[in-house]
Chains A and B, each alone.
Chain A
Amino acid sequence: MTKVETVVVNVAKQFTKLPGLRYIRLGRFSGEEFRQKFLLEPLKQGKTIIVELDGVRGYGSSFLEEAFGGTVRELDLDITDALNRIKIVTSVESWRLDVEEYIRTAKSRKNATNA
């Protein structure tokens, strides 16, 4: 049985305590920037990511959607696979629920966008 490598990403320590908006063009510390810096590469390599969300000022839903939903769309990940490989650690339940929802609905959002 092969051991899956795990990468731990702490948003507050490794990225910022002041997450911003959705896209890079809207300012610093956007969801798009976070996705590109921390999520895409490990997932491409087949690794599992543990994302620690606590310690920041707060998240806009657009940040979370672009970071996590955007990852699923960009890598065209299977939903179940994505949910298994992206683990969320936080004391704020609504953040975890939000991320999981954006992963689940990422494809439908893409379809809606395309439509």
Chain B
Amino acid sequence: MSSALPIPAAPAPAASAPKTVVNSPASDVIKSPEKLAATDSAKLCFSPDFAKNICECVSHTKCLKTNEPAQSSFGTTMFPSAVSAALVIIGWIIVHKAQSNRERRKQIREYVSNLCDDLTELESLAIVYHTSAREEAKEQEIISKLGRLEKACSTLPRFIESQKFLFKAVKPEKLKIDGKRMQVLRQAMTLNHFGDEHTGALGHQDDFILNLELATVEVREALEGVRIDSLD
């Protein structure tokens, strides 16, 4: 097509150049063939027909080389436009995705922060329960809060489940809290010295309480790990 325009052999100098302004996209540049003819290069190769050809060719209505009406303007106009549009869309998708991931990571951090608070509350509750006289209400509360914490931890990977392809906000494996740590925590709080086995208050330095605190530390470390992995 007319994407590469060879300059034809210089025709005879213009005898009388047309004075009409060509109605084309290039008309702002090529105001009139007369002006073109005034330049040195134009002097060499300008004629009324050539000027007309140039104008038609620039406006994509005629092929300069073959002097035939242009069959299609895709090569000169549509292709560059399509590439530009595609680049704009791809850029928009990347920016949108990055912004969405940033928001998702923020949500994860807030969620984990709340879980840490719940864990702290649960630890205090369990320590008070085991270091005081038995209270059945506290047993139910511990089971309930523990269950809620376990379920909340197990739902963490769901934050990115809706992200099906590339550019996940966080790697899925980074959101997984080791089930073993949760298991140890629950055993430390509810397996022994719980229910009718609660025969009396334990001391704060009792191994049972120390194990409970240790199990809490392990879970908190796992949660902090998730929070750090969810930083920008």
Residues in chain A within 8 A of chain B (CB atoms): 18-19, 21-23, 25-27, 56-62, 65, 91-98, 101
Q: Is the CB of A91 within 8 A of B154?
A: yes
Q: Are B147 and A94 in contact (CB under 8 A)?
A: no
Closest Cβ of chain A to B189, distance in Å, is 8
Render B137-174 as a binary contact track against A, CB cut-off 8 A, 1 for contact.
00110111111101100110000000000000000000
Q: Which residues of A contact B194 (CB under 8 A)?
A: 21-22, 60-62
Q: Which residues of the partner chain B approach A27 to less than 8 Å between Cβ atoms?
A: 136
State the Cβ distance, B140 to closest chain A Cβ, in Å. Answer: 8
Binary per-residue interface labels of chain B (165-200) against chain A in the complex, 1 for a CB within 8 Å, 0 otherwise: 000000000000001111101110111001111000
Kindly list chain A residues whose C-beta atoms are within 8 Å of the C-beta of B180: 94, 97
Chosen A-B contacts, 19 in total, with CB atoms closer than 8 Å, are A22-B194, A56-B147, A58-B144, A58-B145, A60-B139, A60-B142, A60-B143, A60-B190, A60-B191, A60-B195, A61-B189, A61-B190, A93-B179, A94-B154, A94-B181, A97-B179, A98-B183, A98-B186, A101-B183
| B220 CB, nearest partner CB in chain A, Å | 15
Q: A58-B146, A59-B147, A65-B191 are in contact. Are A22 and B179 (CB under 8 A)?
A: no
Contact of B148 among A58, A65, A96 (CB under 8 A): A58
Enumerate the 7 nearest inter-chain pairs by beta-carbon distance, A residue then B residue, closest first: A58-B147, A93-B179, A94-B182, A61-B191, A60-B190, A21-B195, A94-B183
Given A58-B150, A65-B191, A92-B150, list of 7 further CB < 8 A pairs?
A: A23-B195, A57-B144, A60-B142, A62-B190, A91-B155, A94-B181, A98-B186
- Say whether A62 contacts B195, CB under 8 Å: yes
Interface majority SS (helix, strand, loop, mixed), chain B = helix
Interface on B for A, CB 8 Å cutoff? 136, 139-140, 142-148, 150-151, 154-155, 179-183, 185-187, 189-191, 194-197
- State whether A58 and B143 are in contact (beta carbons under 8 Å apart), knowing that A92-B150, A94-B150 are contacts in the complex: yes
Shortest Cβ distance from residue B229 to the other chain A in the assembled complex, whole angstroms: 19
Contact B196 A23 (CB under 8 A): yes
Supposing A60-B139, A92-B151, A96-B179 touch, asked if A22 and B196 sit within 8 A by C-beta, the answer is yes
Q: In the complex, how many angstroms separate the beta carbon of B55 from the nearest chain A beta carbon?
A: 72
Question: In whole angstroms, how far apart are the Cα atoms of A96 and B180 in the complex?
Answer: 10
With a cutoff of 8 Å between Cβ atoms, the chain A residues found around residue B191 in the complex are 60-62, 65
Question: With the chains together, A92 CA to B158 CA distance in Å?
Answer: 13
B154 touching A92, Cβ below 8 Å: yes
Given contacts A60-B143, A97-B180, contact A21 B148 (CB under 8 A): no
| Docked pose: A97 CA to B195 CA in angstroms | 22
Q: How many angstroms from the CA of A59 to the CA of B149 in the assembled complex?
A: 11
A19 to B196 Cα, complex, angstroms? 16
Partner of A57, one of B147, B182, B183, B186: B147
